[in-house]
Chains A and B, each alone.
Chain A
């Protein structure tokens, strides 16, 4: 599936919910499906500095696609990173770099997009794209 197709799927899933509670409950459940980072990578080197909760992300290049794994000590943050990884994992670096992330707005999580927000969603997206840029250079 392309990044766009996955984003559309997620939008469809979230459109079924009437209120924030259902959306958050779903996100919390998604957090439980997160492909977990190997413990050896759960170090400060792999941490995304947000103010309040810790997020670790690791990326492997398998053939020409990036596979992300991650973890967080907060459940809601775990849900957010799970959504991002579902969108970006198993994709070509070039597509990750070019992808836009407007879908976050569409699924009612816009408030998490503010750069000043303590959960660091913006930093997470930036970090995933940084991995993509690094691997893209390697592929060339």
Chain B
């Protein structure tokens, strides 16, 4: 097991103050903080070998290309993809999803069906709604229950030969539920549907094996995995990526261009038009190294302890209700105080130096299910401590006192 004091030293931001109080950062579900190793990679890139990649014969360009492609291998290994060219570097999860949705616009027909879950982030609902509007396909939704689990019997009923695509998040951002994706993928494949799993919330906590899952597409963002913002990835099975048309036209994604006809580059470059976020991609690689050095088993064990401790402590506060009580969840606690708006609680907590997320968490259908305007969401990372949870609990008590 790691030493938490050592880990915290890796994150310069954790020693800053907010409103004169030590920062307690519990908004890891929105974005994770950045360790010095990743920051150093970014500084090193711009200090020593900033250049455009894949084109230059000069040394800087070659160095940058090597490091960028090394990052792709790191991502490949991390997710256990069969080929490096099955890893497409994107600007993040949202772009990855849009890339696939765009590609399927030419593969779907009228009356085909697309299944999403009721636990989705808006970025995993809206692109599919747009796709359905464009193609005349129908969007079907897997319902959830009070605990925040998806109802698998209902999923089974939704599946048919008409189902062409299934999109589910690995972990719900609003509630922390870990969805039974293995089952979802298997069942989807039985009717011949492709399955995309949104791993944005899962990847900071879990190391997914895309071959073992047999998933068709898996997407994630670097900035939730201790990497920088503006970079992410799409894993796609080679056969699917070959079938999908390019997403954007531009440099890098072409093999040959004449005014009569352009032939597209091979994978992965077919989907990587223009100059990519080179520095971000390389730093994403460093972030993956960093997390693997700590070890995902260690991370899971430690975060589970934090979750149990925080759940127990928060539930001792009278009138506090936790939303999302699945047996399978990660270190996310969405809660409300009876009769108090989450925005008010978040404002008071901010004054105490505690960063939480308040609102609907871009998952309005979930809030509609519970008939609430939103929640306060505390999401923990491996660099958080039980002492910080104590500060949160005291902060919530203070908010309750002031706001009641």
For chain A, residues 14 to 35, give those with C-beta under 8 angstroms from any C-beta of chain B.
20-21, 24-25, 28
A53 touches B343 (CB 8 A): yes
- Distance in angstroms from A77 CB to nearest chain B CB is 7
Look across to chain A and name the residue whose beta carbon is closest to the beta carbon of B347.
A76
* Contact between chains at B343 and A21 (CB < 8 Å): no
Contact residues of B between 329 and 362, Cβ < 8 Å to A: 340-344, 347-348, 351, 358-359
Of the candidates A25, A53, A118, the one whose C-beta lies within 8 Å of that of B402 is A25
- Selected contact of B344 from candidates A20, A51, A54, A76, CB within 8 Å: A76
Q: Is B56 an interface residue (CB 8 A)?
A: no
Query: At the interface, yes or no: A73 with Cβ under 8 Å from chain B?
Result: yes
* A91, CB-defined interface residue at 8 Å: no
Instruction: Please report the total number of A residues contacting B with Cβ < 8 Å.
Output: 16
Q: Do the beta carbons of A75 and B359 come within 8 Å of each other?
A: no
Contact B402 A77, beta carbon cutoff 8 Å: no
Chain B nearest CB: distance from A71 CB in Å? 12
> How would residues 27 to 55 of chain A score, 1 for a CB under 8 Å from any chain B CB and 0 otherwise?
01000000000000000000000011110
CB distance from B161 to the nearest CB of A (A): 41
Is B317 among interface residues, defined by CB-CB distance under 8 A? no
Bound: A74/B336 CA distance, A: 13
Q: Is the CB of B19 within 8 A of A74?
A: no
A119 adjacent to chain B (CB < 8 Å): yes
* Interchain CB contact under 8 A, A53 and B373: yes
- Nearest residue in A to B403 (C-beta to C-beta)? A75
Check if B348 sits within 8 Å of A53, measured CB to CB: no
Contact between chains at A118 and B359 (CB < 8 Å): yes
Give the CA-CA distance A25 to B398 in the complex, in Å.
11
Interface residues of B in 373-404 (CB under 8 A from A): 373-374, 402-403
Task: Determine the distance from Cα of A51 to Cα of B360 in the docked complex, in whole angstroms.
Answer: 9
Of the candidates A24, A25, A51, A74, the one whose C-beta lies within 8 Å of that of B341 is A74
Interface residues of B in 239-257 (CB under 8 A from A): none
Residue pair A75, B19 in contact (C-beta under 8 Å): no
Q: Known contacts A73-B341, A74-B341: does B373 contact A21 (CB below 8 Å)?
A: no
* Nearest opposing residue in chain B for A53, CB measure: B343
How far is B343's CA from A118's CA once the two chains are assembled, in angstroms?
9
Choose among A24, A28, A51, A52 the residue with the greatest number of B CB atoms under 10 Å from its CB: A52
Once the chains bind, are A74 and B359 in contact (CB under 8 Å)?
no
Contact A53 B403 (CB under 8 A): no
Q: Are B351 and A75 touching (Cβ within 8 A)?
A: no
Complex: A28 Cα to B340 Cα, angstroms: 12
A28 close to B373 (CB less than 8 A) = no
**A119, B402: Cβ atoms closer than 8 Å:** no
How far is it, in angstroms, between the C-alpha of A46 and the C-alpha of B359 when the chains are bound?
Answer: 21
Cβ–Cβ < 8 Å partners of A77 in chain B: 341, 343-344
Bound complex: CA A112 to CA B346 (Å): 13
Contact B358 A52 (CB under 8 A): yes
Residues of B within 8 A of A76 (CB): 343-344, 347, 403
Tell me the chain A residues, 71-94 only, with Cβ under 8 Å from chain B.
73-77
**Nearest-Cβ distance from residue A69 to partner chain B, whole angstroms:** 20
Tell me the chain B residues, 298-346 only, with Cβ under 8 Å from chain A.
Answer: 340-344
Q: How far is the CA of A52 from the CA of B374 in the complex (A)?
A: 8
Chain B min CB distance to A41 (Å)? 19
The reply to whether B351 and A20 contact each other, CB–CB distance below 8 Å, is: yes
Q: Chain A residues near B343 (CB, 8 Å)?
A: 52-53, 74, 76-77, 118-119
Q: How far does the alpha carbon of A119 sit from the alpha carbon of B272 in the complex, in Å? A: 39
Chain B residues positioned under 8 Å from A24 (CB to CB): 347-348, 351, 402
In the complex, residue of chain B having the shortest beta-carbon distance to the beta carbon of A119: B343
Q: Report A-chain residues with C-beta under 8 Å of the C-beta of B403.
A: 28, 75-76
Bound-state CA distance A74–B402 (Å) is: 13
Contact A52 B359 (CB under 8 A): yes
Which of B19, B351, B359, B402 is close to A51, meaning CB atoms less than 8 Å apart?
B359
A54 and B402 alpha carbons, distance in the complex (Å): 20
Q: Which 8 A-B pairs have the closest CB atoms?
A: A74-B341, A52-B343, A53-B343, A74-B343, A52-B359, A76-B344, A74-B344, A75-B344
Known: A52-B343, A54-B373. 17 other contacts (CB 8 A): A21-B402, A25-B402, A52-B342, A52-B358, A52-B359, A52-B373, A52-B374, A53-B344, A74-B341, A74-B344, A75-B340, A75-B344, A76-B347, A76-B403, A77-B343, A118-B343, A119-B343
A-B contact pairs, 27 of them (CB 8 A): A20-B19, A21-B351, A21-B402, A24-B348, A24-B351, A28-B402, A28-B403, A51-B359, A52-B343, A52-B358, A52-B373, A52-B374, A53-B341, A53-B343, A53-B373, A54-B373, A73-B341, A73-B373, A74-B343, A74-B344, A75-B344, A76-B343, A76-B344, A76-B347, A76-B403, A118-B359, A119-B347
